[in-house]
Amino acid sequence: MELDNRIINTVKSVLKKYHAKKVLVAVSGGVDSMVLLNVIGEIIPKEFFGVVNVDHDLRPESAKEVEFVQNFCVGRGYQFFTTKWLNKPQDDIGMEAAARSFRYDFFKKIMQDNDFDTLLTAHHANDLAENILMKLIRSGNAYEVVSLKEQRPFADGQIVRPLLNFAKSDITVFADIHDIHHVQDKTNFDNITMRNRLRNNIFPELQKENGQLLTHFNFFEQQIMALLDLAQKEFSRIENSMKLVKTPEKITGLIKPVETLNSEQQTLFWGSFFTKSNLGISISNRQIEQIIEIVTGDHANASIDLADSWQFIKSYDQFLIQRVQDQNLQVFPIKVGQTQIINHRKFSLLEDERSFTLTVENTPHEITLRTRRSGDKLLLSNGQHQKLSKRFINEKIPEYERDNYLILLFDNQIVWVEKIYNMSDYLKKGSKHYKIKLD
Ligand SMILES: Nc1ncnc2c1ncn2[C@@H]1O[C@H](COP(=O)(O)OP(=O)(O)OP(=O)(O)O)[C@@H](O)[C@H]1O
């Protein structure tokens, strides 16, 4: 009885907390969503809610499951919306994500066409814990880890998940007590997906270590969310100082404001920066990881010893900057009064009285992320340039894929092209500012 009241009262208070007025319950027919539907049926008059279901048509039983949910709703006079997924992708890769995308598009359409302000899903504490562990395994990106929130904006309204604090076992006990009928998704027992492997093999073991595990995952998520919220305040301030320019193919901004953060904080900052959907450019997790590695790794705090690796010499009437790397001598001419960027270090030579000052700046000024443009050139370790289009050909990247390759630039110098080019392979790390006086 105690559990009964807890579940019913929680659903009531969550709906109240988020001012849900006309709700659409997403019901697959499984035990979780059938419990949620039963609770909603108890606490909300039927004019104020509807039921939505998607037949993904991926399993032979799916039509029967829709029928089950439909009969339940019709029997009680609930509004019921359903659709069948017809245009499925040809191969299995990404099927789950495509199914989810279709499902949520349909939910959105039904909400908008029928003025529902709140979509309810029956996600519970085990889903949340599985999600956290999955994201941790897949990307470790803190911004991804917190994807299952009790509430978030959706369509013109919101998604609310009233059962997020209850364990799956609580929900099944509730279903047993109230004799709530539901369908059994047999694929839940297949260990083909990582989610099922975690659910069936890993979590039962983890729970033996500590019975409070699910509460701890929930607590962890709330803390991360609060910390990210706090960080975001600082990050917004930094982004403002970056003077960002965004277009559909390009983002550019100053790097200096980010350097007020220490290196771990910078990693967090760039994670937040590139995870945002309003950047214009779409970036995957894998790409984010690589970009962060470049941005934070390349000009880490290690110092360069200019005298050791770079030399400034006067040869006849020419000034040269040269360095020896991998037993290769690289030589770059430089003119007085000129600034030259070599391997993303900025060299400028000034004459004052009878002496020269060579300034070497290692910290890039401006960062740009964009897609490719004709004429893009890559700097090679021998100081020569190679056309990006040539590199694409050498690497056998098909023509149609090339436009989607992300390119990172420091001060308009390409430093990274995903998968095929990384200038830091040619660089010694450094970020200090050196002034060399030459007589
Ligand atoms: N085919 C469906 N029709 C209607 N609602 C569904 C369907 N599948 C899932 N849902 C809703 O989503 C909730 C979570 O389901 P499930 O855990 O299977 O989805 P997921 O893919 O893991 O998560 P998400 O939907 O957030 O991506 C269910 O409890 C139910 O409320």
Tell me if 29 is assigned to a ligand binding site. Answer: yes
Residue listed under structure tokens 């009064």: 337
Q: Are residues 331 and 410 in the same domain?
A: yes
Q: Are residues 188 and 247 in the same domain?
A: no
Per-residue pLDDT averaged across 149-160, rounded? 94
Beta bridge partners of 422: 416
Of all residues in the chain, the percent with pLDDT exceeding 90 is: 48
Q: Are residues 304 and 384 in the same domain?
A: yes
Q: Are residues 213 and 261 in the same domain?
A: no
Least confident of 59-73, 212-226, 364-378: 364-378
Half-sphere exposure of 397 (CA within 13 A, CB side): 17
Instruction: State the burial class of residue 285 (Cβ atoms within 10 Å of its Cβ: 0-12, 13-18, 19+).
Output: middle
Tell me if 30 is assigned to a ligand binding site. Answer: yes
Tell me if 75 is assigned to a ligand binding site. Answer: no
CATH value at residue 147:
3.40.50.620
Q: pTM of the predicted model, to two decimals?
A: 0.74
Domain for residue 228, yes or no? no
Higher pLDDT, 185 or 363: 185
Domain for residue 108, yes or no? yes
Higher pLDDT, 408 or 434: 408
| Centroid of ligand 1 to alpha carbon of 26 (angstroms) | 7
Per-residue pLDDT averaged across 103-127, rounded? 97
The pLDDT of residue 339 is above 70: yes
Show which of 187, 220, 253 is a domain's final residue: 220
Within 6 A (CB) of ligand 1 lie 26-28, 32-33, 52-54, 56, 100, 103, 121-123, 127
Q: Are residues 207 and 261 in the same domain?
A: no
CA dihedral 122, 123, 125, 131 (to 10 degrees): 170
Number of domains in the chain: 2
The pLDDT of residue 437 is above 60: no
Domain for residue 226, yes or no? no
Tell me if 101 is assigned to a ligand binding site. Answer: no
Q: Are residues 288 and 372 in the same domain?
A: yes
Q: Which residue segment(s) compose the domain that 424 sits in?
A: 242-439
| Centroid of ligand 1 to alpha carbon of 40 (angstroms) | 17
Q: Are residues 204 and 309 in the same domain?
A: no
Show which of 220, 255, 271 is a domain's final residue: 220
Give the pLDDT confidence score for residue 303 in this predicted structure: 34
| Centroid of ligand 1 to alpha carbon of 121 (angstroms) | 7
Q: Are residues 169 and 113 in the same domain?
A: yes
| Centroid of ligand 1 to alpha carbon of 66 (angstroms) | 14
If one residue of 68, 80, 103 were mutated to test the ligand 1 pocket, choosing by the most ligand atoms within 8 A of its CB, it would be 103
Q: Choose among 156, 158, 94, 146: nearest CA to 121.
A: 158
Show which of 158, 186, 220 is a domain's final residue: 220
